[in-house]
Amino acid sequence: MAMTQSRGVQGMLREGHKHFSGLDEAVLKNIDACKQLSTITRTSLGPNGNQSLLQTHVFKTLMCCPNSNNNDNDDDLGMNKMVINHLDKLFVTNDAATIVNELEVQHPAAKLLVLASKAQQEEIGDGANLTISFAGELLENAEELIRSGLHPSDVISGYTKAIDKVIEILAELVEEGSETMDVRNMDEVVLRMKAAVASKQFGQEDILCPLIAEACIQVCPKNPANFNVDNVRVAKLLGGGLNNSRIVRGMVLKIDAVGCIKRMEKAKIVVIAGGVDTSATETKGTVLIQSAEQLENYAKTEEAKVEELIKAVADSGAKVIVSGAAVGEMALHFCERYKLMVLKVASKFELRRFCRTTGAVSLLKLSQPNPDDLGYADSVSVEEIGGARVTIVKNEEGGNSVSTLVLRGSTDSILDDLERAVDDGVNTYKAMCRDSRIIPGAAATEIELARKLKEFSFKETGGAVYEKRRVRTTYFAPFGVRVRVKFRVCCLPIRPAPEEPNHCESLVSSCALINKPEPEADSF
């Protein structure tokens, strides 16, 4: 068998595989796969589609622009996509992170773009769509250069030099004084968070941003660089609207209390991961009972042991028992007798967050806890919100490291979209804690980068100049605007006062420098 086995790559792959190599088969096919992925997501870039939906209140079609009567490329932005995953679950969203997650991309090259967008989403909280769209445009321009005869290594070298120049230019565009931002200042945090939240929930950012900022500031540690996004939780409850959402300094568990006791104030808490029930051996045991008296004593012995354990917990000062597994009927009976509130948290992740919120140490089994193992909460109560019973664990005096944003909405789809917007806002706050520098928005930075790269490209010599100009030209491509072809300036329908200068005309004249034709010798 060893003699008939193929050597090299052919022998390592399964039967029926295909092996591609060379420029046409490998490089250009990989570029084509990335371009197809970019084509899917780029039409969902920006809030324009959502704005049209808000204005018309009509969802004309899912896979086409809501404003279908307008043929401008700029109106194709913000489209919603309808995605059905392998579980037949329907998603209607323009969030690129959700789209690429549910697409199940198989192509290795396209997977690299998916991983890059996920890293962007986790690190910054925004820009996942721009990452894919911009990468697709860079690859499209690189394909033209490769077909014209340039080697891929030369293209990579030019792009690398352009990236270094872009980073250098960005440092010059930083707004003066933004390095010293106070991450605990509500107004400054809300101002910088609005852009990221508005990309997911256009028109709702004025309601969401103050809630997200308050939750983040509550759990911000002494060293803001150590901010943990997992400390801001989201509880989605059906009913009501976004205006009914609120912040809870603590945790909101979508469970009801086990037993009759539904509220405790200033409670010490014991957490038991193994459950509150009588212990049993791993192997089967046989007990020989010869009389009714022996049977009665056997049951009494078990009850006495359980009561002894529950009494030991009550004597330690604990008022609330949180179980990570089953709660036995006999144990619950004695918990009611000793006025102990019982909660059952099935998720080990929620149990871990509960311990972090209250400062409790999880015990393996039911036993008498040490004082250091007990947690504390100002109040543990069961409330009914929108027809659902939830347990709210509050710690208003501080000291907790978890804050929960209770979101209200009419459907699960709306709540999922709101949760994604909250995640973007929290990640934006995390980025602000690490680096608070800001640069101009509304494509002003992209315009300046394109202008500076154009100047830089004319100073360079050799083949790398073409790649730099490709980067410069590509900056507007994800927005549906080609700098070398046209540049549209859209402004509000407000006429300037007679004594004031026409800012739109000055902006157009400034942009004319970018749209200036290049010499014939330098064309590509």
What does 99-146 look like in DSSP terms, one character per residue? HHHHHT---HHHHHHHHHHHHHHHHTSS-HHHHHHHHHHHHHHHHHHH
Length of the chain (residues): 524
How many CB atoms are closer than 10 A to CB 399?
11
Q: Where are the alpha helices (DSSP H) in 200-244?
A: 205-218
CA 443 to chain centre: 23
Instruction: Name, in order, each residue with C-beta under 8 angstroms of 493's C-beta and a sequence gap of 6 or more.
Output: none
Longest dimension (CA), the chain: 110
Residue 398 DSSP label: S
Retrieve residue 149's tokens.
């005869």
Gap between the Cα atoms of 416 and 37, Å rounded: 24
How many CB atoms are closer than 10 A to CB 75?
18
Gap between the Cα atoms of 129 and 41, Å rounded: 6
Find tokens 């830089």 and name the residue. Answer: 456
Topology of domain 17-175+460-522, CATH: GROEL; domain 1 (1.10.560)
Find tokens 């490089």 and name the residue. Answer: 27
Domain ranges of the chain: 17-175+460-522, 250-399
Q: 0.85 cut: is pTM over it?
A: no
Closest CA to 356 of 317, 314, 404: 404
Gap between the Cα atoms of 61 and 79, Å rounded: 9
Q: Are 396 and 249 in contact (CB under 8 A)?
A: yes
Asked if the 250-399 domain carries CATH number 3.40.50.1820, the reply is: no
Tens digit of each residue's pLDDT, the chain (524 residues): 455 555 565 666 667 666 666 666 688 888 888 888 888 888 887 655 444 333 333 333 233 333 333 444 444 456 777 888 778 778 777 777 778 888 888 888 888 988 998 888 877 877 888 888 888 888 888 888 888 888 888 888 888 888 888 888 988 888 887 777 888 888 888 888 888 888 777 788 888 889 999 889 888 888 888 888 888 888 888 888 888 888 888 888 888 888 888 888 888 889 888 878 776 656 677 778 888 887 777 767 778 888 888 888 888 888 888 888 888 888 888 888 888 888 888 888 888 888 888 888 888 888 888 888 888 888 888 888 888 888 888 887 655 578 889 888 888 888 888 888 888 888 888 888 888 888 887 788 888 888 888 888 777 665 555 555 555 555 444 433 333 333 333 322 333 334 443 333 333 333 333 333 444 444 33
Q: Are 179 and 437 in contact (CB under 8 A)?
A: yes
